């Protein structure tokens, strides 16, 4: 699901209109709707206790809005930290940000949390929530903060980052991302005593009681302080928080369904792929049945590429480092690359170097190779758009802690394409690529999309402001014309240009980033790419990067979870299984299956000694789309009986009709 998303069954209260204060007022005075938990004053998120000056505009933030959910979850993270220190005063605090669908908090404790510890923490949180402690914001100086938090070494480290958004990681900005340094006190409503406090940017809910009963602790994990393996390892507690108990239950139900669909679990159950220790972390092998599915995914993609004017190319897996110096990857992406291999060096008998070696790298991207293909000979404007496509395997040195099945691997195959166009072709080509993306994804059974526009990160990019501005505006206009929802991803672009990404929702409403279309004015300049224009002058093309599936491995995992392993017939590794009611009917079924196999259908007969009910259970569990069952009535009538994955059955179907039904489902890619 998108970050801070609201479950489909949540009741979303209508937010009050923005208010212009006529006299100095607090948010409590301006907004009486109980769903309002914070406000934006002149665009800045503020607690409801904040004074709003006359003529300032205050915009209410409801608890079901994305901002409201983040505030709810951040407040719950503070309660989690308070509960931990109530039980274990020696626990030292890390950070506790809101995240997609929940929150976490990191702790330095002597021993990892046990399930019994988590239960005790949960009970302590309930008591704090019921007590209705007020969250009270206080501005402090650096010295005051250090004096108050002298026993919190991790907080002391963060104090030096006050206002340093460039230096603080996103999750750390919840503590020190503002211009002011602030501490939030948890104040007992009866005594007025501060019972706990934390360094925090805020804002927070008015009081802990507003967190309600839609909170649950989920799991624990180890995490390095500030994400660096060089730092101490802390213990992280994850939780989730929702406006109501019903919202929480709906979320937990989605998690249960997601667990059933986990591609790692299904991959093992259906014998599709594995990650042998002998090969290494993040490197998958596809078994025969998984190989069939992967081949069908790729074959459909290849057919679509040919139909849309692409030319297929191939490039090696390794190259000299100088290529990635030219492309900029060694400058901007080196941490994501495998270390260099120093090759070709020669020495004499005394060990003196007689020939200098060179650094070679496993490729993390295909684009530099395609630029060399474009540059291999002179190009005319008549050849453009030139669309080069490759199923290119690339290698990225992902940290071991980030690897996750097929969705995050170290070796991946991209359905990569690079399109070279004249400047006046850019707009139409991007629009055409987006439509190509939508049509192709629908063919795989995905049809619920929205778009995300990733813009420049000034600290991690090259190229002129003018080129970036022009490219970004072009992408924005094309995206808006598509009619789909467009959301912003500030600073999320690659180092060479802005991008549109297609976000697809699967069968249970989760969002996956799939296709990307990126505009690049920089690579053609760095590689001195040129074409001869109609007037005979030499001009520089514009480059479009397009990855439709992202990577084959990740897309395989997404489809596996989307279909919960029950692929449509055209993708199923075994499309038809014949099951004789008794051994005598085996030869009859062999004839039917032989006709199907002659038409390219992946079909087989189960001649095992198992009884028919067990055979049905076995192949239903294997998620075979069609089971053809034959007994005496079927044989006598020259027919078969269909049994489907949902347990329904269609008896006495003539053989010719059965074959037509199966081949049509495959040919039309029906969502059976």
Q: Is pLDDT of 235 > 90?
A: yes
Render pLDDT for 45-102 as a digit per residue (tens, 0 to 9).
999 999 999 888 999 999 999 999 999 999 999 999 999 999 999 999 999 999 989 9
Residue 522 predicted with pLDDT over 90: no
Q: What is the pLDDT of residue 177?
A: 58
* The pLDDT value given to residue 249: 96
Contact predicate 205/211, CB 8 Å: yes
| Whole-Å CA distances, 578 to 262, 292, 641 | 29, 20, 10
Q: What's the token pair of residue 170?
A: 């996103």
Is the pLDDT reported for residue 509 higher than 90? no
What pLDDT shows up at residue 178? 63
Instruction: With residue 517 as reference, give the H or E element that holds it.
Output: strand 511-520
CB of 359 closer than 8 Å to CB of 321: yes
Q: What pLDDT score was predicted for residue 278?
A: 95
Confirm if 478 and 430 have CB atoms less than 8 A apart.
yes
Reply yes or no on whether the pLDDT at 21 is more than 90: no
Tokens of 245: 């108990």
Q: Which two tokens stand for residue 385?
A: 């758009």
Q: What is the pLDDT averaged over residues 617-645?
A: 95
Per-residue pLDDT band for 335 (boundaries 50, 70, 90) equals confident
Query: What is the structure's pLDDT at 488?
Result: 86
Reply yes or no on whether the pLDDT at 163 is more than 50: no
So what's the pLDDT on residue 164?
40
Using omega within 30 degrees of 0 as the cis cutoff, is the peptide bond preceding 29 cis?
no
pLDDT of the residue at 400: 81
The arithmetic mean of pLDDT across residues 414-425, rounded, is: 94
Predicted pLDDT of residue 8? 38
Which residues touch 442 (CB under 8 Å, ≥6 apart)? none
Cβ proximity of 585 and 631 under 8 Å: yes
Catalytic residues: 367, 396, 414, 416, 418, 499, 545
**Contact between 480 and 432 (Cβ < 8 Å):** no
Give the three-class secondary structure for 386. strand
Instruction: Say if residue 331's pLDDT is above 90.
Output: no
Predicted pLDDT of residue 462: 74
**pLDDT confidence of 15, banded at 50, 70, 90?**
very low
Q: How many CA atoms lie within 13 A of 488 on its CB side?
A: 6
- Mean pLDDT calculated for residue range 591-619: 96
Instruction: Give the SS3 label for residue 458.
Output: helix
pLDDT band at 162 (very low <50, low <70, confident <90, very high): low
Least Cα distance to 559 among 483, 628, 607, 506 occurs for 506
Instruction: Tell me: pLDDT of 408 over 90.
Output: yes
pLDDT bucket at 11, cuts 50 / 70 / 90: very low
CB atoms within 10 A of CB 66: 13
User: Who's near 225: CB < 8 A, 6+ residues apart?
Assistant: 94, 106, 108, 154, 231, 232, 233, 234
Residue 492: is its pLDDT beyond 60?
A: yes
| Residue for token pair 């402090």 | 140
pLDDT in tens, 24-49: 788 888 898 889 999 999 889 999 99
* Position 242 confidence tier, pLDDT thresholds 50, 70, 90: very high
pLDDT score at 46: 93
Out of 107-111, 469-473, 597-601, least confident range = 469-473
Beta bridge partners of residue 643, listed in sequence order: 627, 649
Cα–Cα dist 70/205, whole Å: 10
Q: What is the mean pLDDT of the chain?
A: 90
Cα(492)–Cα(153) distance, rounded to whole angstroms? 32
CA distance linking residue 67 with residue 306, whole number of Å: 45
The pLDDT confidence band at residue 172, using thresholds 50, 70 and 90, is: low
H/E element holding 255? helix 245-260
Q: How confident is the model at residue 619 (pLDDT cuts 50, 70, 90)?
A: very high
pLDDT tens-digit readout, 545-557: 999 998 999 999 9
- pLDDT, tens digit, for every residue of 109-142? 999 999 999 999 999 999 999 999 999 999 999 9
Q: How confident is the model at residue 461 (pLDDT cuts 50, 70, 90)?
A: confident
The 3-state DSSP class for residue 530 equals: coil
Q: Does residue 289 contact residue 270 with C-beta atoms inside 8 Å?
A: yes
Name the token pair of 148.
Answer: 């108050």
For residue 174, pLDDT beyond 80: no
Across 359-374, average pLDDT: 94
């Amino acid at each position: 699901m998108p970050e801070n998303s609201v479950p489909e069954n949540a009741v979303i209260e209508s937010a009050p209109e923005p208010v212009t204060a006529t006299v100095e007022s607090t948010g409590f005075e301006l907004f009486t709707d109980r769903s309002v938990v914070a406000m934006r004053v002149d665009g800045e998120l503020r607690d409801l206790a904040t004074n709003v000056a006359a003529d300032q505009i205050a915009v209410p933030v409801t608890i079901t809005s994305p901002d409201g959910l983040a505030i709810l979850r951040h407040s719950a993270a503070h309660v989690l930290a308070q509960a931990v220190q109530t039980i274990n005063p020696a626990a030292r605090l890390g950070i506790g940000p809101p995240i997609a669908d929940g929150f976490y908090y990191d702790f330095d404790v002597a021993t990892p949390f046990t399930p019994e510890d988590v239960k005790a923490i949960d009970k302590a949180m309930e008591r704090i929530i019921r007590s209705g402690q007020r969250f009270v914001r206080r501005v402090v100086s650096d010295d005051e903060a250090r004096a108050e938090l002298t026993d919190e070494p991790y907080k002391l480290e963060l104090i030096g980052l006050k206002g340093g958004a460039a230096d603080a990681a996103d999750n750390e900005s919840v503590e020190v991302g503002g211009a002011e340094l602030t501490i939030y006190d948890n104040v007992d409503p009866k005594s007025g005593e501060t019972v706990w406090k934390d360094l925090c940017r805020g804002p927070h809910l008015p009081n802990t009681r507003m967190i309600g009963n839609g909170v649950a602790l989920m799991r624990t994990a180890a995490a390095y302080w500030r994400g660096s393996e060089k730092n101490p390892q802390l213990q992280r507690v994850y939780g989730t928080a929702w406006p109501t108990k019903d919202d929480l239950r709906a979320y937990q139900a989605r998690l249960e369904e997601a667990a059933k669909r986990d591609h790692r679990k299904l991959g093992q159950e259906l014998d599709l792929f594995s990650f042998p220790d002998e090969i290494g972390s993040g490197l998958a092998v596809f078994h025969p049945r998984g190989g069939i599915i992967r081949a069908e995914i790729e074959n459909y993609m290849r057919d679509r590429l040919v139909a849309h004017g692409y030319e297929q190319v191939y490039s090696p897996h390794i190259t000299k480092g100088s290529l990635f110096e030219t492309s900029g990857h060694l400058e901007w992406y080196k941490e994501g690359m495998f270390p260099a291999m120093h090759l070709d060096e020669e020495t004499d008998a005394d060990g003196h170097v007689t020939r200098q070696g060179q650094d070679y790298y496993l490729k993390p991207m295909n684009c530099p190779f395609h630029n060399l293909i474009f540059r291999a000979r002179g190009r005319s404007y008549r050849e453009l758009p030139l669309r080069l496509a490759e199923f290119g395997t690339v290698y990225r040195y992902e940290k071991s802690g980030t690897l996750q099945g097929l969705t995050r691997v170290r070796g991946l195959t991209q359905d990569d394409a690079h399109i070279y166009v004249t400047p006046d072709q850019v707009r139409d080509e991007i629009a055409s690529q987006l439509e190509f993306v939508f049509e192709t994804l629908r063919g795989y059974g995905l049809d619920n999309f929205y778009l995300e526009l990733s813009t420049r990160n000034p600290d991690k990019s090259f190229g002129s402001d003018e080129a970036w501005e022009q490219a970004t505006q072009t992408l924005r206009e094309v995206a808006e014309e598509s009619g789909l929802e467009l959301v912003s991803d500030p600073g999320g672009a690659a180092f060479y240009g802005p991008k549109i990404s297609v976000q697809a929702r699967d069968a249970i409403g989760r969002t996956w980033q799939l296709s990307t279309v990126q505009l690049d004015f920089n690579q053609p300049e760095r590689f001195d790419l040129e074409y001869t224009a109609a007037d005979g002058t030499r001009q520089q093309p514009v480059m479009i990067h397009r990855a439709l599936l992202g990577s084959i491995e990740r897309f395989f995992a997404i489809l596996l979870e989307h279909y919960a392993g029950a692929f449509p017939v055209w993708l199923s590794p075994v499309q038809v299984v014949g099951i004789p009611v008794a051994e005598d009917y085996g030869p009859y079924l062999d004839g039917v299956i032989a006709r199907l196999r002659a038409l390219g259908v992946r079909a087989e007969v189960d001649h095992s000694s198992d009884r028919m009910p067990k055979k049905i259970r076995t192949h239903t569990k294997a998620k075979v789309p069609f089971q053809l069952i034959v007994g005496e009535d079927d044989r006598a009538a020259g027919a078969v009986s269909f049994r489907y994955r949902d347990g329904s059955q269609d008896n006495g179907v003539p053989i010719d009709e059965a074959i037509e039904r199966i081949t049509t489902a495959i040919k039309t890619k029906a969502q059976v």
